[in-house]
Structure 1
Amino acid sequence: MDRQATAETTYQVWYCKRCDKACKIQPPTIEPGCRCENPVPGLRPTLVTQMHQPKLRPMQALTEEEGRLRALARKGRRVQVTYEAEISEAWISPGRDGVKRIQFIVTTADGRRHVVDPALPGLHVEAAPDGEQG
């Protein structure tokens, strides 16, 4: 038998003596049902416990690649990201310190363009293996 944990909430409910509907609820998380202009609440509240089924999250099968990437996706984890691209433009520009540095605009196989600044820490640019250059 598959049993799931249920949560429960207990409310204090004062019922109206005119219409027999709830006119006051503590804690006030539910809208009372009484619409009388001058409700006549009972002297003592009734304790009402409401059971809640937890909302089930949909399960999704992961491919091996998605599982591997999710295992890597931890804050502070060091990773190396590489992609191949073709140089579209290249130029030399002076940096903040006055030293001239080369920069590139590259285009990946899917047509996206990226600016590559080799002066960024941790960035390394190298040639693609022979036979794959355009």
Structure 2
Amino acid sequence: MSAPTETTYLVWYCKRPRCGKACKIQPPGIEPECRCENPVPGLRPTRVTQMHAEKPRPLQALSDEEGRLRALARNNKRVLVTYEAQIAEAWTSTGRDGLKHVQFIVTTPDGRRHAIDPALPGLHIEAAPAATEESPR
């Protein structure tokens, strides 16, 4: 947690006999205590600093998987991301180097489509095992 915050107020105290309570406060934020009908504020204000303790953040229950992923993100770990998808479209295009490259559009089991560029560094595409492949309909 970070350090508590503080606010400084200018407070004018009532000069009426038997009162002596705060009758004017700037900036507004605290209710004046003086209940006199016609308060008599002092000529100069008094500086009052009020400390504000930080409210504790609510705790959130995490699953084991969510906790593991947050730890990876917090530590800037190198990760390997894999997912299964079926090739929806494939074509060849000529790159800046003048060579032809294969491009893919794949569809994941949840129906989302993703463009895959095999020329990206670190990307590796391989066939899924035969047991998980679905036959074309």
> TM-score w.r.t. structure 2 length?
0.71
Q: Percent identity?
A: 67
Runs of 4+ in 1 over 6 A off after TM superposition: none
| AA partner of residue 42 (structure 1) | G
The alpha carbon displacement at 1:74 in A equals 3.3
Structure 1, unaligned runs of 5 or more = 35-39
The residue that corresponds to 1:93 in the other structure is: 93
Question: Does structure 1 residue 102 correspond to structure 2 residue 106?
Answer: no
Counterpart Cα distance in 2 of 1:90 and 1:57:
49
Hey, what does 1:59 align to over in structure 2? Answer: 59
Secondary structure of the residue aligned to 1:21 is strand
Aligned 1:11-90 pairs, distance under 5 A: 11-15=9-13, 21-22=23-24, 25=26, 28=27, 30=28, 41-74=41-74, 76-90=76-90
Aligned residues, how many?
121
Relative to 1, partners in 2 of residues 1:8 and 1:117: Cα closer, same or farther, differing over 3 Å? closer
What runs of 5+ residues in structure 2 fail to find an aligned partner? 17-21, 33-39
The worse-fitting range, judged by mean Cα deviation, of 82-91 and 51-60 is: 51-60
Instruction: Please name the residue that 1:128 is paired with.
Output: 128
Secondary structure at the aligned position of 1:80 is classed as: coil
CA contact (8 A) 2:23 2:41 kept: no
